[in-house]
Amino acid sequence: MTDATLDHVFDVTEQNFEADVLNASLDTPVLVDFWATWCGPCKTLGPLLEQLAAEYKGAFRLGKVDVDKNQQLATMFGIRSVPTVVLVKDGQIADGFAGALPLGQLREFLERHVQALEGETEEVELPAETPEAAINRLQQAIAAEPDRAELKLDLATALAQAGHSDAAASELDALPANLATDARAVRLRHQLELARSLKDAPAQAELEQRIAANPADWEARDLLGVRLLLGNDPGTGLEQFLAILEKARDWNDGAAKKRLIAAFATLDDAELVSRYRRRMTSLLF
């Protein structure tokens, strides 16, 4: 913790709560972090809150409550799990949340309630969270709050990003029915299916050579399309599937149509999807 952070972070006890939280919040909002030394997600959330306290430079203060040492405060706030964060403003609870949120969501939470001091904020760039770090954070959060099923979908996504396809698929299979059909879950299933098709597949250069030698090598076109789709050239990947659809619609039990539908579900570029969906339709009907 830096000296700048220390200026805006303090320990809350039952003795100083009224003066340093309730009364102080009449002038400056106080974010109260209920934590415990044994809590894994607390170790992730705490440093992020301290960083934001330093960034806001006094627009809010961060009070830290060790629930094991201040059980009366935890009971008064109805704390059922840690970490739990409560925003106290004008002497009253204004908002709060439970669990270890990522930095972006913490910023959004603060922006709803805290007016940054003009010219005072200085956003500190943090390295992007790696998939492995996200996996660790989410596993700790799930251990603390096993009933939050949405965390398991987040974990499946992080596992897929880290290349752990089988583990990601297992998490997806274990989702409750209401989340199994969630758009993110459907998208991830398609991504995993596409990625699995590349197991033991030739490299891109070899596939391109096969197509140059035989334009009707539909298997090579199919695998090249998947490689390009999951790489940095999705448009060219879609072209491979369209080529199969046009010349060999029934190849491999209509694989080209299935690839296109899966691709549309995974792509973020709405214009690209719309354009190629129209081309697919024109070939089918």
Catalytically annotated residues: 39, 42
Nearest in space to 37 (alpha carbons), one of 84, 83, 5: 83
Nearest in space to 94 (alpha carbons), one of 102, 103, 85, 83: 85
- Cβ neighbors of 257 (< 8 A, separation 6 or more) are 245, 249, 280, 284
Tokens representing 21? 């939280």
The helix or strand, by DSSP H or E, that contains position 87, with its residue range, turns out to be strand 84-89
**3 state SS of 66:** strand
**3 state SS of 139:** helix
Tokens representing 249? 């619609």
- Strand-pair partners of 65: 34
Tokens representing 31? 């974010």
Is residue 222 within 8 Å of residue 240, measured between CB atoms?
A: yes
Gap between the Cα atoms of 77 and 204, Å rounded: 58
